[in-house]
Amino acid sequence: MSNVIAAATVSLDGFVADTEDAVGPLFDWYNNGPVEVFGTDRGRPFHVSQASAEYMDTTWSGVRACVIGRHLFDITNGWNGIPAFGEHVFVVTHTPPTDWPFPDAPFTFVNGIEEAIAQAKQYAGDHDVSITGGNLTGQALAAGLVDEIAYSVVPVVFGTGKRFFGDYVGPQVLLDNPTVVQGDRVTHLHYKVSR
């Protein structure tokens, strides 16, 4: 059975982007090391520290399906039809695009977070499902749909911006002790949600 992993790179104060959707130094660690790693797009290499590479290989290799929101889909143009990692992307939206130039890409547009995660889990089978940080993560957490949290912390304080858990309103959620991996200019914290 697949696990749902809420994942993103965040500032020390929990933001995934500033108020204008810019990530600033949050993604610098993707290109500050000697080890080349890839997600799904073989034309988009990352160069990270050995520790980050091992962490990425371990976590990314288990992901078969991703769930993202329409906002991330729009600002990345759906990565031009190639998932960042995994094989298939489920986009939560009330209004699927009608003019996207990649109609045969492995993207499915779904109305609602619960339905998107259900479809992603069915697609993933025994592999994992990744859900990207933001309002979607808050909604999934509130609905009890998140099994793990992959929180890659960069040493910067944004002060304001888009939060990893969006506008989460819900019960207190306890997590198990994290697995901690120290990269270069990033600390990977991987938690299981206590059940």
Where helices occur in the chain by DSSP H, the ranges are 50-60, 70-76, 113-124, 135-142
How far is residue 126's CA from residue 140's CA, in Å, rounded to a whole number? 20
Give the separation between CA 19 and CA 12, rounded to whole angstroms. 16
At residue 1, does pLDDT exceed 80?
A: no
Q: Give the per-residue pLDDT at 94.
A: 93
pLDDT at 168 over 90: no
- For 53-109, the pLDDT digits (tens) are 999 999 999 999 999 999 999 999 999 999 998 999 999 999 999 999 998 999 999
Mean pLDDT of the chain: 95
Three-class secondary structure of residue 97 per DSSP? coil
Taking only the tens place, the pLDDT of each residue in 27-67 is 999 999 999 999 998 989 999 999 999 999 999 999 999 99
Provide the pLDDT for residue 178: 97
Place of tokens 């990565």: 79
